[in-house]
Chain A
Amino acid sequence: MIRVVLPQHLRKLARVGGEVTLEVAGPVTQRTVLDALEARFPMLGGTIRDHTTKRRRAFVRFFACEQDISNESPDALLPDAVASGAEPFLVVGAMAGG
């Protein structure tokens, strides 16, 4: 079971309260987690990564285990603590004015 923490705007859009829990079959990577997230909450499609290229949106960051893993390969394995559910995978709106 993977735990995902969404920023407030996306929690509201997906109509979820706290963390989201997902089952991910196979290797646990950014791509497989986000695929599972978007499959369960289709309204999140395009809000975290581009619909077509699947590239992370510029002002979205990914954190795990107190590390910024935004620029890791989307196919790199996430830390064991995320894969085991001990730590959440955090989707964060980048600090930016506006």
Chain B
Amino acid sequence: MSRVRVLVGTRKGAFVLESDGTRSRWDVSGPHFGGWEMYHLKGSPADPNRIYASQGTSWFGQLIQRSDDGGRTWEPVGNKFVYDGVPGTHLWYDGTPHPWEFARVWHLEPSRTDPDTVLAGVEDAALFRSTDAGQTWHELPGLRTHASASSWQPGAGGMCLHTILVDPSDERRMFIAISSAGAFRTDDGGATWRPINRGLRSEQIPNPTAEVGHCVHRIAMHPSRPRVLFMQKHWDVMRSDDGGQSWHEVSGNLPSDFGFPIDVHAHEPETIYVVPIKSDSEHYPPDGRLRVYRSRTGGNEWEALTDGLPQQNCFVNVLRDAMAVDGLDPCGVYFGTTGGQVYASANAGDRWAPIVRDLPAVLSVEVQTLP
């Protein structure tokens, strides 16, 4: 029977949860790296025992850890993230030029085919790659040197590259998202990039339909349909049917179209999930009711999923990298909260239960479906 491994990054350590395919009983190990912020952990699709983890604190900076045995033991690997050439400047919060400064790794994206190759999305926004299992990192500078980069400005959380999607049909095509520059696409393996923000509208910037400057929170894709993208923006849930060339809003009947994560069902490319949050300053669910919303129509028509989730006095947030799906049938859906709960549904969202609770604030959740 298949097994499932859930990788949880929190403000004060990492946790690894495992279950058999019933997903009814979970073994929890951790905290790994207790006291450190674990922004993201992700396993290699090519070798499930290979896991990469982003570890850091304000005190001691950034580390990358690698496990070759499914998260039981870890080795620190390379943590030298140096921008290629002269880093240049972007705009600071006050509108003045500010030099690019590396702060942390937000997201790790292991290759689907090579366990030693992994991409890293960092703050200040740039894309790095390692081809030696994390020992050394080299920037793909075409993104940071894009003509618009000097006008990029950080969001409240910093100017982070937080989303990396690689087209499974052509690994040279990638989609990334930066808060708050927007979404970008490359078709040549990262040498050149173009903004893909047409159709986005953000009232918080001087030109609401500008080519760059949008605070994209997350993009999701189903591997079988890499031209169809779903986006949770600062406000608005959006959809593209042409690989990001244009977007249209699919917020429909959501109680709020603000939120952070968005994800796609493993077997139903038109079934998507979001977690509505009340507003850009009130980072908790509307009415104190934690509800995942599911659309089976690729957006616009949404149903609230509440069974097993707290429906009163709940004021947690769900961060952008804190939702994932497994590959079993029925599809499992998982998300973690800033209140330290990780909820799972083994039936595509119909019923939920916490598989661990009272952890430190959850920053990221990833799932591995194991043979």
Which chain A residues have a beta carbon within 8 Å of chain B's beta carbons?
Answer: 7, 9-10, 13, 43, 45-48, 51-52, 57-60, 93-94, 96, 98
Contacts and interface: CB of A to CB of B under 8 A. Distances in A.
Interface of B: 35-36, 57-63, 76, 79-80, 82
B35 A13 contact: no
A58 B76 CA distance: 22
A59 B57 CA distance: 10
A52 B82 contact: yes
B60 A60 contact: yes
A43 B77 CA distance: 7
B59 A93 contact: yes
A55 B35 CA distance: 24
Contacts of A43: 63, 76
B82 A51 contact: yes
A38 B79 CA distance: 13
Given A51-B82, A57-B61, 11 more contacts: A9-B36, A9-B59, A13-B63, A45-B79, A52-B82, A58-B58, A59-B58, A60-B60, A96-B59, A98-B57, A98-B58
Nearest to B36: A9
Contact of A60 (B59, B63, B76): B59
A7 B60 CA distance: 10
B137 to A, nearest CB: 11
A47 B63 contact: yes
28 contacts: A7-B59, A9-B35, A9-B36, A9-B60, A10-B60, A13-B60, A13-B76, A43-B76, A45-B79, A45-B80, A46-B62, A46-B79, A47-B61, A48-B60, A51-B79, A51-B80, A57-B59, A57-B60, A57-B61, A58-B58, A59-B59, A59-B60, A93-B59, A93-B60, A96-B58, A96-B59, A98-B57, A98-B58
Contacts of B61: 46-47, 57
- Which among B57, B58, B60, B76 has the highest number of chain A CB atoms within 10 Å? B60
Given A45-B79, A52-B82, A9 B57 contact: yes
Contacts of B63: 13, 43, 46-47
Contacts of A13: 60, 63, 76
A58 B60 CA distance: 9
A4 to B, nearest CB: 15
A51 B63 CA distance: 12
Contacts of B60: 9-10, 13, 47-48, 57, 59-60, 93
A7 B58 CA distance: 14
A83 to B, nearest CB: 26
Contacts of A57: 59-61
Contacts of A45: 79-80
A50 to B, nearest CB: 8
Contacts of B58: 58-59, 96, 98
Contacts of A48: 60
Top 8 closest A-B pairs, CB basis?
A47-B60, A43-B76, A59-B59, A93-B59, A51-B80, A46-B79, A46-B61, A59-B58
Contacts of A93: 59-60
Contacts of A51: 79-80, 82
B26 to A, nearest CB: 26
Contacts of B80: 45-46, 51
A57 B62 CA distance: 11
Nearest to B62: A46
Nearest to A49: B61
A61 to B, nearest CB: 10
B82 A94 contact: no
Contacts of B79: 45-47, 51
A45 B80 CA distance: 8
A10 B76 CA distance: 12
A58 B58 CA distance: 8
Contacts of A9: 35-36, 57, 59-60
